Structure 1
Amino acid sequence: MSARTYETSLIADDVQVIEAVAEAMVLEPDREADNGARPEQHARRVYDSIVDLAPNPDNPTPMVRLSHRINPHPGYEILLKLEGMNPFGSIKDRTALYMLRGLDLDPHQALVEPSAGNTGIALAAMANAWNVPIEIVVPDGTPEEKKALLRFLGAELIEVEDELCPLFPTEGARGVVKSMVESEAYGGKYVSPNQYESALNVEAHYRTTGPEIWKQTRGEIDYFFAGIGTGGTISGVGRFLKEQNPAIQIIGVEPASRQHHLSGLKRITGLPDEHFPKILDRDLLDDLISVTDEQAFGAGIELARKDGIMVGPTTGALLHAALRAGLPKNGKAVLISADNAAKYVSAYARYL
């Protein structure tokens, strides 16, 4: 075969490949991703609504590999999944979208939800996009930056005396929301997405976060670390990953004390069964590691100063657990970085 004939053959083969790809794209022109956006919107990065930026396996949040400056173990790869890159700034964007889609609201009804901040922010932003009134009940220990963002979004804020780690399900912010939803005095005005008990919280991570991680790592993952809060992230991702490979270790991280400042996390060690998060699948957990405030904030500061990655203190808690807990320092670990440092500047200031 001459060089000319060979070149023509290659071009013909390339054309066939291009035509096959084009045909495959035409077969499903209206296929929508989990967030409502179509694949071509992700390709062009032009959207009809801010809500369409919510992640899914076709539009995942990025991962970043930690350097040897923060992770000195050569056989141990640590990847942070940067959920702070979501449109409203945290992993709770996923939960909020799934829960809101599962609600059937009448025109006279309003949303109300207990939140340590991130879920409330995501719900408030999406409620604005869909013209739905919303009230958020927060513990008074919620970081000031989060409360300011909720007010900025126009949410009516109800602050209650509450620890960041109340007992489930009647104390503090949750108890207030429960009474608002159930009280006859309000005449059915309020509807709560109820992140603490909604199966859609778990479903969001089973359908998006888990598949994203599997796809981004090409199935090469040995450990998955997530904080214990509502239980949605670790249950949804854990279930998906265990279905792909039962050998993957699912590791939960909790505060070392109920009196903590790790907004969004909950200590479950020592709790009676009736106070456990209802959607947390404890059977998925291979290990549970406790981390102090000082360890979490210290790891977050170290990460910023060594790798330039600015994360919230819950990510610091996971990083401390991944690096300093008594686990084998080999294989590949994926850590959920739930949000970024911007919402915790005042909290970090105490440790600088």
Structure 2
Amino acid sequence: LIMQARKLAAAASRRRVQTRISTAVTRHRVHSSASSSGSGSERGGVHESTLDAIGNTPIIRLRHMAPPGVTVYVKWEAFNPMLSMKDRLSAGLIEWAHAHGQLDHGKTVVDVISGSSGVGLALACRERDHPLVAVMGNDSAVEWRQLMRFMGAKVVVADCPETTAAAVAEKHGWFLAAHPRPDANEWIHAHKTGPVILEALGPQRLSHFIAPHGTGGMLRGVGRILRARSPATRICVVDQDSRPHVDYEVMNGPHYSWPAKLMDGWTTDFKPTSIDDASIPYVDDIITISGHEALRVARELASSEGIFTGISGGALTAGALRVAREAPKGACVLTVLLDTSHVHLSTPLLDGMPTQMSDEEAELAAAGSTSKRPHR
């Protein structure tokens, strides 16, 4: 009788475990179905190529930094294969050029490369069978040159990259990517980024979209979609509170708002441009953010939300939070984080982070070194 009772109890236990597993699987299927039907499709799955893995980046809610009663989302582009929004733009450039008859299959692409834009374009060219000639400045990081060559590109280092790239393309009859890039960027954001955002949010109304200025491609592309499909959404552009150039400190001394080392980060290392006439219809508000605030918020994103983004991501999130603090209850604010902090390790982003153990950490290490090792 005792043995029989034990067998019955064991059978009942197995049924309870199977029921819990079945319930969990059912809930997962329901959640996945709901996600794919409008609230943000599930990432992962099987892709035929690396290019197919570009896009569909997650939209993440800020649960610790957002003010009460307001939802703040960030669309994190670091989930692209090469860790930045530049993957989307590079693949879009090649796609646009093919669609508009400007690039034949197998034709060599020539472009002026700096940083993450280069690896994104190298990926797109390799997957679409286009040789790539990357022209880089003398001050470009050696690591980027190595990485470009590692991905199969030819790297030309020149005093004036723009002039050299144009001359090389003209001499050989190759495709110069600089010419169509503005149109291609706007096109890819209008055809993919904007619609994907609205589809992912589903019935949730987007009250504010926080956009970078940059070249204006995202602003105009996403802005065009929002004006047509979500006209109540206010579009706010985040910009630097001032625009020092690379020679500013030499000419004027330290800038009041921008640490000098930020010249290659959130501040511009190229000639700044104002918001052009083509972008003005898509701008409802302009938010100015200092370099120090951009750094502070980028660090807070890492420590509070577990989101490792760059200095521009800190600035865009700072703008989103400023809007959220002034927005009415129930508002929904979204911005885009362009990359990850892993490509900004040489910037001031990690300044102040100690490299040596603190007293508390040293005490923990000492306790571990004096304890007896367990017998094997």
Query: CA 1:346/1:208 → structure 2, altered by over 3 Å: closer, same or farther?
Result: same
Change (3 A) 1:146 1:350: farther
Deviation sequence 1:130-161 (CA, Å, 0-9, x none): 33221223456667765554343233334556
Q: 2:73 & 2:115 partners in 1: Cα distance?
A: 25
Q: Which residue of 1 aligns with 2:187?
A: 203
Residues 291/180 of structure 1: CA separation in 2 closer, same or farther (3 Å cut): farther
Q: Which has the higher helix share?
A: 2
How large is the RMSD of aligned CA atoms in angstroms?
A: 3.3
Asked if the contact 2:72–2:321 (Cα under 8 Å) also holds between the matched residues in 1, the reply is no
**Alignment map for 1:1-352 (pairs within 5 Å):** 45-55=45-55, 60-68=56-64, 70-71=65-66, 73-101=67-95, 102-103=97-98, 104-105=102-103, 109-138=107-136, 146-147=144-145, 149-159=147-157, 173-182=161-170, 186-188=171-173, 190-194=174-178, 197-218=181-202, 219-255=204-240, 256-259=242-245, 260-261=262-263, 263=265, 266=268, 271=273, 281-324=279-322, 328-330=326-328, 331-347=331-347, 348-350=349-351, 352=353
Larger CA deviation: 73-82 vs 319-328 = 319-328
Tell me if the contact between 2:76 and 2:338 (Cα under 8 Å) persists in the aligned partners: yes
Structure 2, gaps ≥5 residues long: 1-40, 246-261, 354-376
Equivalent residues of 1:201, 1:233 under 8 A apart: yes
For residues 269 and 132 of structure 1, the distance between their equivalents in structure 2, rounded to whole angstroms, comes to 30
Residues 87-145 of structure 1 show CA distances to partners (whole Å, capped at 9, x for unaligned) of 22222222222221224545784211224323321110121223322122345666776
C-alpha deviations, 1:166-199, integer Å up to 9, x for none? xxxxxx64444334334xxx232x3122277442
Q: Which sits farther off after the overlay, 73-82 or 86-95? A: 86-95
Listed one character per residue, the Cα deviations across residues 254-299 of structure 1 (whole Å, up to 9, x for unaligned) are 2332335354775999847xxx679x62321112223233222221
- Contact residue 235 and residue 281 of structure 1 kept, 8 A: yes
User: Is the 2:238–2:315 contact (alpha carbons within 8 Å) kept by the matching residues of 1?
Assistant: yes
- 1:209 Cα deviation after fit: 0.8
Q: Would the alpha carbon gap of residues 44 and 86 (structure 1) be closer, same or farther in structure 2, given more than 3 Å must change?
A: closer
User: Can you list the C-alpha shifts for 1:67-97, whole angstroms capped at 9, x where unaligned?
Assistant: 23x22x1122110101111122222222222
Using structure 2 for the length normalisation, give the TM-score.
0.67
Counterpart contact for 2:106–2:129, Cα < 8 Å: no
8 Å contact kept, 1:196–1:230: no
> In 2, distance between residues paired with 1:268 and 1:246?
33
State the 1:247 CA deviation: 2.2
Distance, in Å, in 2 between the alignment partners of 1:244 and 1:120 is 33
In 2 relative to 1, CA 157–244 (structure 1 residues): closer, same or farther, beyond 3 Å?
same
Taking the aligned partners of 2:76 and 2:282, their CA distance within structure 1 comes to 23
